[in-house]
Amino acid sequence: MSRKALNGGGQSGPAIKPLATMQARDAAKLESFRSALNRARFNKSIGKLADKMFATKSRPVNEAYSEKTFRLTNAWKSEFREALARAESYLPSTKAVTQEDKRALADFIKKLKELHRGRPRGGSPRRPAMAERTAAHLVLERLKYMREKTGAKRISKKSGIPAKLIADARKEVSLHFSVPAAKISADNIARLVDKK
């Protein structure tokens, strides 16, 4: 008896089974997609029909229905965004008629702008002071390097070297910190250098 006979006559039998199962699986996926699409279309048509029907109902029923649809459409939003969406839906429906209404709207927009601004940074007033400390550190490092290079214990102010180093450090730091050089005090840098 040959090996083909023992294996069932050939290799075509096992290869056909996976193909048939894949086709059946694809057909099931296609059918589930079609049914989901039909349900979505049906739900959309029911929603449109409900909108038409509730438009003719009394005002309290219509308001309750519109409230429910608003909550459903904004359920995924945070409380703040939901409140903004509610305000956005109310504003076009009513117009600011009187001066008081216009003032109230202006106050509301002013508060929104304050919220939009967020937390104050607080870093800008401290930038010149930070730049001065950084410049003093640069000057000290350069003076230390010059002392090591020349072998001197001190570099006097009368030589003009510290003043030149302060001016150079001031320019570098003003570029780095984005602070105008006029706001960085050379006297403060010299004082910080003398402290060390």
User: How far does CA 180 lie from the centroid of its chain?
Assistant: 30
User: Residue 189 CB: number of other CB atoms within 10 A?
Assistant: 26
**Cβ atoms of residues 176 and 132 within 8 Å:** no
What DSSP string runs through 142-196? HHHHHHHHH--S---GGGSHHHHHHHHHHHHHHHHHT--GGGS-HHHHHHHHHH-
For residue 68, the one-letter residue type is K
More reliable by pLDDT, 84 or 8: 84
Angle between helices 59-73 and 79-93 (to 10 degrees): 140
| Closest CA relative to residue 166, chosen from 140, 144, 127 | 140
pTM, 2 dp? 0.38
**At residue 128, does pLDDT exceed 60?**
yes
Would you state the pLDDT for residue 195?
81
User: Residue 95 CB: number of other CB atoms within 10 A?
Assistant: 9
Q: In whole numbers, what is the pLDDT of the chain averaged over residues?
A: 77
